[in-house]
Structures are given as structure tokens and as C-alpha cells.
Amino acid sequence: MSETRSLAEVEDLARRAARGGGLPWDLADEAGRAVRLLCIARIDGCAALAALLAHPRAHQDKSLAPMDLRDRVWSSRSGALCPIRSGTALSDIAGDLPPDGVGLLGVVAPVLILPFAADMARALQLPVTLSWRGAVVSIGTEGLPRALRIDRLARTRQTGLHLHPGGPGLPPAPPETRARPAPAAWAALLASASRTSSPGSR
């Protein structure tokens, strides 16, 4: 079994890895938080972030961002959406989410959207429902649930998603107090994070 990490360690490394991967600190903060929240729900957020950072366009500011938040279906110029950029935008406009929701085309490492969907549920005080490829998960206002469908989403490299307010809202997963990231993902994040450190003293 891999070594356990504190959630603070996970968030700190994920944040620095995202910055090292080319995201501004502003989005790196969001990435770190999202990874932490996934780990609390026993989803390996480190593996998801490592997959995102391995995407050839992950570091490019605009090419993975939704073009216009007023669209009913969000898409990017490159055809792939970054879950951090899309997720923060979703969280930002939680109060203005259309009743029939929004679609997102080609989300890379799509499980990283989940923490932002949970933010929306908390902000709206109303469950939100996420669907993809015939699977549906409804997230309650108290945090991310645990479901086999989510485990499958965590193994999905890229998919379209649809998010809309409402739904039954699954109860939250009992919170994990430690993270168990896959060693390869942890190593990948360490390598990316090392690019944020100035030359050492030793």
C-alpha cells in the first residue's frame, strides 16, 4: 500500500505542481483545493491532476478555457476543456446557473470537476446533478458522495459532461483524514512542483 499523506501535504504539492505545470498561482490554488476535496472523498485527486498536467496543452492559458460563459454548451478553441478553468468558472457563476444546466465538451481529467460541482451545490443549497456517457451522479449540499460511477469517471481521460441544478443529492462520503495517492502520480506531481523552487542552497 502506498504511504499515507496528510491532506495539507496533498494540497500543497498539488498547488505547486499545478503552478509548475504552467497554471498561474490563482488557478493552482484552485487545483490544490480540488485535489484535497477529492482525496477527502477517497478519490485519488493526485492521479487526476497528474493526468491533466500531462495533457500537451495544460499550460496554455486560453486554449483549454471555455470561450464564453453565456453559452449553453461550454467548449474551448482546442476542443478540450481544463477542469480547473471550467470548474472555477462554474463555481463563480453558481448563482446564475441556467435551470436546464450547462454542457461541457471534452473535459480532460473530468473527475476534477466534482469538487466545483460540490461548491455549486453548497452555494445554491440545492443538489446538482452531473451526467456523462450514460452515468449520472447527484451531489448533495454537504460534500462529495462515494459511488462506483465516480470511480469510473476517475479512470476516464476525457469526456463530455452535463451539469444541472436539482436531483436527489447523494449523502456525502465519510471524510477520509489521510490521502493515499498512487506513487507514480505523487512522483509526477513532485517533478512538476520542483519547477516552482528557486535554486537550492545545498
Partner 1 sequence: MSLDRVITPTILRPPERIMRLDRLGALQPSRLSFARQLLRRIAAERWVIRRTGWQLDADGNGHAVYGVDTGARHYALVVCVAGAETGVALCDGAPGPDDIARLSDSLPRVDIGRATAHELCLAKAGRDPDLWDHAVARLARGLQPDAEMVAASGVLMHSGPVLASGAHGTADRDQVADRPEMHAPFQAELLMLLLMRLFARDLVEHLARAAGGGNAARLDPDIDDALGLGLSAGLGLAAFPVSHPCLFNTWIMAREEAIGRVVALRHVRPLEWSAVRGHLAGLAASTATSRARDPMQVARNAALAAELAQLAQEMAKGPAGDRPWSRLMHWADNTLGPDGQEALASLMLEPYGDLVDGLGHCMSDRLDRDYRVDGCMSVGQVRALISTVHGWALDLDWSPGGAGALAWTKASDEFNPRLSPRAAAQAGPFELPLAIVHDAVRAWHCLGGYPANLAVAHVLLDHPEHRRATRRAQITGFAPYAEIRDNLIDAGVRPVDLIRATVSFLGATDFDPPSDRRMRVRVFAGVPAPGVGP
Contact letters (x/-) for partner 1, 104-133, by CB under 8 A? ---------------x---x----------
Nearest to 82 by CA among 30, 16, 151: 30
Q: Identify which of residues 14 and 156 has a Cβ nearer to partner 1 in the complex.
A: 14
* 147 within 8 A of 9, measured Cβ to Cβ: no
Q: Could you identify the residue written with the cell 499523506?
A: 5
Segment interacting with partner 1, rule: CB under 8 A, options 43-51, 63-71, 105-113, 159-167: 63-71
Over the range 145-181, which residues count as b (16 or more CB within 10 Å of their CB) and which as e?
bebebbeebbebeebbbebbbebebbebbeebeebbb
In this complex, which beta carbon is closest to partner 1, that of residue 65 or of residue 131? 65
58 binds partner 1 (CB under 8 A): no
Site for partner 1 in 128-157 (CB under 8 A): none
Three cell numbers at 144? 462529495
Chain positions contacting partner 1, by CB under 8 A: 3-9, 12, 23-27, 29-30, 33, 61-62, 65-66, 69, 85, 88-89, 91-96, 119, 123, 177-178, 194-202
